[in-house]
Amino acid sequence: MPLALELAAGLTRGATLETIAAQLERDFTALDSDLRDVSERHRSVRAVFEQSWNALNARERAVLQKLSVLRGGFDANAAREIADADAAILAALADKALLSRASETRFDLHALVREFARDKLEKAKGVNATRARHA
């Protein structure tokens, strides 16, 4: 299933379809003015990412940002070391389709989710500290 559809499906747990559609339309309109040099397809994916991001609580956002420095998948120990993530937060991110289970013990971030979360981490000026924890 395409990532944007998985993310949109993850949003249905917390809002009605009408609410999600209205928020995506609003976000897409804002992105249209901000990202004119980006294709319509990428703007719509970005709008879904923003909507998913807005549905996260502060801790989920912080963990997702920090996990963005990990490449090639990771296990729960790495998630705890890098992002102070416990099993509950990893399950919550997986339930919202922002994180996937690669196996019983490993997780993955889709490359586009990683890029989006990494952008958020850089804007929050947390990338250097997080990289240091990963090194």
CATH 1.10.10 is right for the domain spanning 58-134: yes
Give per-residue pLDDT as tens, 6-32: 666 666 666 676 776 666 666 544 444
Q: Is the pTM of this model over 0.85?
A: no
Q: Parse the chain into domains and list their residue ranges.
A: 3-54, 58-134
Q: In which order are the strands placed within the sheet that holds 100-101?
A: 74-75, 106-108, 100-101
Q: Give the count of alpha carbons within 13 A of 6, CB side only.
A: 14
pLDDT for residue 86: 96
The lowest-confidence range among 6-10, 74-78, 109-113, 124-128 is: 6-10
The pairing of beta strand 74-75 with beta strand 106-108: antiparallel
